[in-house]
């Protein structure tokens, strides 16, 4: 949301810098006085929470990389060395491992909020698509990081997931096998595979950081969405980001960090798998291979389909379709608050995804497999059929005239109208 700059340098040095590198002006305009809708609830604090956990993952990851040895005969022992011999190594390792889980918990809430309030609709399509790219990069980074432990579950998870590309043999003979061998660096998962995963795991977080900067930039062009889904119309519809939302974000972050530290100090291995404390053994397959909890819904979708190629396509489509939500949703109303039919379908979609996560941790047999197929069918039915049809057939409820009316009630003092076209920012 463009707005005229109100930054005024207070010293000669500040003026000198402002002319040559206006970093302080940018921070003042985008982080302090940035006009923000006055009705944002606590679900909007997860953007700041995610930024915090990205920083945690980067800092702890860089320090851990200083002690980790990416070699198949030493990787597992180097992790144990970090835990036992490096000063505060246990804390860094547990913060990094549980930080990944908190990162995904926050991003799932962030995505669900965007879907419920229609934050993917015009003019925020690019913002949403960038968010999907960040999500995909997070998944790739986390998978590679999980593999570095080189325990039984890590090793076999790498073997299973990389083997998915062999399904491409059904399209072009030999193509999938060639890709798998290229990823492995040989004919089986081994030292070249570990080195490649380690290199990419170190690189991708910086790619995520770059995508996050683009994501924030794309947010600040149209401005925040809000629970009403109504655009800013009046000057009274907005308040400065600081101190109102910095305090709100700070409080929400504090609560979330308490949850995070609860896992780190009292249940550090609760979200992991005990088999990962067994060194990788290529000759002994675990009885039940499962990924980390945040991959379980997609793992359930993969296993629900008997054909390997179609299962892989469904796996990637279940994530890729999210990027097309701005066009799959045909409703002209953004917020589900005013969509009496869609809000129930959305609740069903959330429940369906949670059930898929539960089924992903179970063996694919009996009623687990049947229920997995039903939930997989609804997942795609919701995105490809329910979303377009409900948008066309649903009758929305009455909406407030402005954000201020939503907060203070109709007929409240609304201030003077916002300008139709904001003046460009000073550069």
- Whether the pLDDT of residue 230 is over 70: the answer is yes
- Whether the pLDDT of residue 213 is over 90: the answer is yes
Nearest one of 49, 48, 50, 89 to 67, comparing CA atoms: 89
Letter string b/e over residues 210-228, b meaning 16 or more CB atoms within 10 A of that residue's CB? ebbeebeebbbebbbbbbb
Provide the 3-class DSSP secondary structure of residue 36: strand
pLDDT, tens only, 154-169 = 999 999 999 999 999 9
Determine phi and psi for 187, rounding to 5 degrees: -100, 5
DSSP state string for 109-147: HHHHHHHHTTTTSTT-HHHHHHHHHHHHHHHHHHHHHHH
* Residue 28, pLDDT score: 87
pLDDT, tens only, 350-404 = 999 999 999 999 999 999 999 999 999 999 999 999 999 999 999 999 999 999 9
Nearest one of 114, 113, 111, 102 to 49, comparing CA atoms: 102
Biggest CA–CA distance in the chain, Å, is: 75
Nearest one of 389, 406, 401, 400 to 341, comparing CA atoms: 389
CA distance 96 to 360: 24
Can you give the three-state secondary structure of 316-356, one letter per residue?
A: HHHHHHHHHHHHHCCCCCCCHHHCCCHHHHHHHHHHHHHHH
CA distance 317 to 328: 14
Q: What is the mean pLDDT of the chain?
A: 93
How far is CA 193 from each of CA 143, 174, 337, rounded to the nearest angstrom? 13, 20, 48
CA distance 425 to 7: 11
- Whether the pLDDT of residue 284 is over 90: the answer is yes
Q: Are 39 and 228 in contact, with CB atoms under 8 Å apart?
A: yes
pLDDT, tens only, 74-127 = 999 999 999 999 999 999 999 999 999 999 999 999 999 999 999 999 999 999
* Residue 88, pLDDT score: 97
CA distance 44 to 40: 6
pLDDT, tens only, 139-153 = 999 999 999 999 999
Q: pTM, whole model, 2 decimals?
A: 0.93
Pick the residue with more confidence: 284 or 411? 284
* Domains in the chain with CATH codes: 27-278+291-408 (1.20.810.10)
End-to-end CA distance of the chain: 15
Residue 304: which pLDDT band, with cuts at 50, 70 and 90? very high
* Residue 422, pLDDT score: 41
- Whether the pLDDT of residue 425 is over 50: the answer is no
* Residue 349, pLDDT score: 98
Provide the 3-class DSSP secondary structure of residue 45: helix
Nearest one of 343, 328, 330 to 380, comparing CA atoms: 328
- DSSP type of residue 151: B
* Residue 421, pLDDT score: 39
Residue 29: which pLDDT band, with cuts at 50, 70 and 90? confident
Tokens of 101: 């889980």
Q: Are 253 and 54 in contact, with CB atoms under 8 Å apart?
A: no
- Whether the pLDDT of residue 60 is over 80: the answer is yes
CA distance 228 to 188: 54
């Amino acid at each position: 949301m463009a707005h005229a700059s109100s930054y005024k340098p207070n010293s000669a040095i500040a003026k000198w810098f402002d002319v040559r590198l206006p970093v302080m002006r940018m921070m003042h305009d985008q982080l302090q006085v940035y006009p923000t809708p006055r009705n944002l609830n606590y679900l909007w604090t997860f953007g700041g929470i995610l930024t915090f956990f990205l920083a945690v993952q980067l800092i702890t990851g860089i320090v851990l990389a200083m002690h980790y040895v990416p070699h198949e005969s030493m990787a597992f022992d180097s992790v144990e060395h970090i835990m036992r011999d490096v000063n505060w190594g246990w804390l860094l390792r547990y913060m990094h491992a549980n930080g990944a889980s908190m990162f995904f918990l926050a991003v799932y809430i962030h995505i669900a909020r965007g879907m419920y309030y229609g934050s993917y609709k015009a003019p925020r399509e690019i913002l949403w698509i960038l968010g999907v790219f960040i999500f995909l990069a997070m998944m790739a980074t986390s998978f590679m990081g999980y593999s570095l432990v080189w325990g039984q579950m890590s090793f076999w998870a790498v073997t299973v997931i990389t083997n998915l590309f062999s399904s491409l043999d059904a399209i072009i003979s030999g193509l999938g096998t060639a890709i798998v061998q290229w990823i492995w660096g040989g004919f089986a998962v081994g030292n070249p595979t570990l080195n490649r995963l380690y290199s990419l795991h170190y690189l991708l977080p910086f790619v995520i950081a770059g995508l996050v900067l683009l994501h924030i930039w794309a947010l600040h062009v149209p401005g925040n969405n809000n629970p009403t889904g109504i655009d800013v119309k009046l000057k009274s519809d907005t308040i400065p980001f600081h101190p109102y939302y910095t305090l709100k974000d700070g409080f929400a972050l504090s609560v979330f960090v308490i949850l995070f530290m609860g896992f780190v100090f009292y249940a550090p291995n609760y979200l992991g798998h005990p088999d990962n404390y067994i060194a990788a053994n290529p000759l002994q397959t675990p009885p039940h291979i499962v990924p980390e909890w945040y991959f379980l819904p997609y793992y359930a979708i993969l296993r629900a389909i008997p054909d390997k190629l179609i299962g892989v396509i469904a796996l990637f489509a279940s994530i890729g379709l999210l990027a097309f939500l701005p066009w799959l949703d045909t409703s002209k109303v953004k917020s589900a608050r005013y969509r009496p039919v869609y809000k129930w379908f959305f609740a069903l979609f959330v429940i369906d995804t949670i059930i898929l996560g539960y089924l992903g941790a179970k063996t694919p047999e009996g009623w687990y497999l049947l229920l997995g197929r039903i939930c997989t069918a609804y997942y795609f039915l919701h995105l490809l059929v329910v979303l377009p049809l409900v948008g066309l057939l649903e009758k929305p409820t009455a909406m407030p005239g402005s954000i201020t009316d939503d907060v203070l009630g109709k007929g409240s003092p609304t201030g003077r109208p916002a300008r139709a076209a904001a003046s460009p920012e000073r550069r």
